[in-house]
Chains A and B, each alone.
Chain A
């Protein structure tokens, strides 16, 4: 009986728990991308760097709070600073909208023009973040690091395998559930949310029925800023903050949004978890897992690894290509992924 528990614990420690946390981070990021695609109708390449900017603002206030001795231990101080980070990011995104996108919207520019403009915004933000906080790793996590340490778990249960559960992982999963629930409540139950969905479905009809487009745009950017900052801070708490890594996060986030179907919030969440779990499960070496779950001496000699970890990133892109070939609108059928 112990063996079955050991096998399950082993899998949770190296696949399920990290996959859940990474998946949640990708899902919140992908929600932001998909929201902008659905309502403003372009792929926002600046999203990764928006995350970096929001996280940076949060980190700066976190450091100040730490200096003043403010703390909500065992939770990380960064949670207190999060609203400030979101506010800064909202201001930033509204500013870029005013300076860049509003003009293009009035010109009724093609989506590809928006996309290229967002690449420009991406580079500006990229430089801005490096200019303010520098290109290096920054640590800002404090408070209790673990909810459950692997060693403690072994001692408590007497099993030979342990499972580690970090505070940041727990926070990430809980926050993701709250954020997703709040977002769906907002989109489905409130007047503003309904007007956003109406605007997304049919812009002209929405205008005729008296929906103020500027207001819809304003709310969209505000939501995108909040989502980006939350995703960025969670990711930073769980791993570490480095502007370059955030820039690279753009790829898995877009993969997640496209796999689920661009413009479809439900799809973005599913996509995030599909990408995260496919990276981990396909490259995991199952030898120990099989050794526990197969009776007797049948345990395999080799590592039982489907693909070497070198191919980790190839996995998510193979899934992306397959989805685009077989269901171009994504698994959950968003708008055409053109």
Chain B
């Protein structure tokens, strides 16, 4: 009996001996708040990558990776900062997948990540302001800046022959950044934005907003808001009063709950959401289905965010943010072997043997500028009460 105990103890020691550790990744997203209907699938995406790497045993001598969730609330910077602070100081996370909405992401970066030297990779913060923010090389995003979304939306509007549009945006960093980008791009292309008005989320009554938008008029109404919040209220009120028939829906408005809530009146509206037709996207869709969640908006970006962090760790040979932060651009871009979702173990092995990889992942990741996705978009057309893919851009 005693021998057996000793043997087990030795075996246990052996298996953890080769500098293996438990790496912790914070998955900090808005589990409550305006995009709470999207975040479960986003977190599931990140955790799928974490599980894949952990099970493979190929990362840093067989290290295990653990996900710890934290809530940004999407809107409350103080709450997001506190949650991040707790995960960094108490749980000692090595890096962050998050945050989600641009305002709280900025707060998390400035208040916690910079002070503690922690790498953050956001799957969904899209404000143009984050491109130029001081980040000490710690901040990356697998989502493109909204400056790019403005160009794509303008191209779609031009193709559809839209000459004038009314624009309303949710009153925060995301909404303002996106609205500015749409307005400048559309006007540069010869279109006319008749009004650009903010709306507050969480109110019951949007009569006044819709009244002003209707008075300004336009071929379509662009709603740069959130589908669970004011964005939905505006569309409902605009349809009820007959002010607009067609709506243009940027990424914050794309989700299954919107066509379901509004019904057939939304048919014919169109929009964009980050996405790609690269083989990685289809593969990720299958993996998500097998794992029991939906490859919804931003869930592939979340998978890629977590994957990039772990691949960079492998490339640097360290789980410390200050060591691997310089490797993220390298593993994300060419040259090297292309790595798709489900092939993380292969990527880790190539890196371990000193090779190079070009992580393509689920969202065709190509990091540009200060470390943000170049941006592939899926053009959405609402038809038959569902979001359907019109084409990729």
Contact = CB atoms under 8 A, between A and B. Distances in A.
Are A and B physically bound partners? yes
Interface of A: 13-15, 18-19, 22, 135-137, 139, 149-151, 162, 164, 166, 235, 239-240, 242, 244-246, 248-249, 279-280, 283-289, 303, 305, 308-310, 312-313
Interface string B264-304: 00000000000000000000000000000000000000000
A54 to B, nearest CB: 16
B216 interface: yes
A242 B216 CA distance: 30
A169 B236 CA distance: 14
B198 A309 contact: yes
A245 B204 contact: yes
B308 interface: no
Given A162-B242, A285-B195, 10 more contacts: A136-B36, A137-B232, A248-B202, A248-B203, A283-B209, A285-B212, A303-B195, A303-B212, A308-B197, A309-B197
Interface string B327-355: 00000000000000000000000000000
15 contacts: A14-B210, A14-B211, A14-B214, A18-B207, A151-B242, A239-B204, A248-B204, A249-B204, A279-B205, A279-B208, A280-B207, A280-B211, A283-B212, A289-B215, A308-B212
B111 interface: no
B180 to A, nearest CB: 16
A29 to B, nearest CB: 12
B226 to A, nearest CB: 12
Contacts of A162: 242
Contacts of A309: 197-199, 208-209, 212
A262 to B, nearest CB: 23
A22 B205 contact: yes
Given A15-B211, A284-B215, A287-B216, A150 B204 contact: no
Closest 8 CB pairs of A and B: A150-B242, A285-B215, A14-B211, A18-B207, A245-B204, A285-B212, A283-B208, A309-B209
A284 B212 contact: yes
- Most A Cβ at <10 Å: residue of B195, B198, B241: B241
- Most A Cβ at <10 Å: residue of B32, B205, B212, B232: B205
Given A13-B242, A14-B207, A284-B208, A245 B202 contact: yes
Contacts of B214: 14, 288
Contacts of A305: 212, 215
A242 B214 CA distance: 26
A309 B197 CA distance: 7
A214 B200 CA distance: 44
B29 to A, nearest CB: 17
B203 A245 contact: yes
B240 interface: yes
B267 to A, nearest CB: 15
Contacts of A139: 261
B216 A137 contact: no
Contact of B240 (A22, A164, A244): A164
B228 interface: yes
Nearest to A308: B197
Contacts of A280: 207-208, 211
A184 B216 CA distance: 43
Given A164-B240, A248-B204, A288 B261 contact: no
Contacts of B203: 245, 248
B177 interface: no
B255 to A, nearest CB: 13
B233 interface: yes
A287 B194 CA distance: 12
A249 B209 CA distance: 17
A139 B262 CA distance: 11
B216 A303 contact: yes
A303 B242 contact: no
A13 B214 CA distance: 10
B233 A303 contact: no
A236 to B, nearest CB: 9
Given A137-B228, A310-B171, A284 B198 contact: no
A135 B228 CA distance: 11
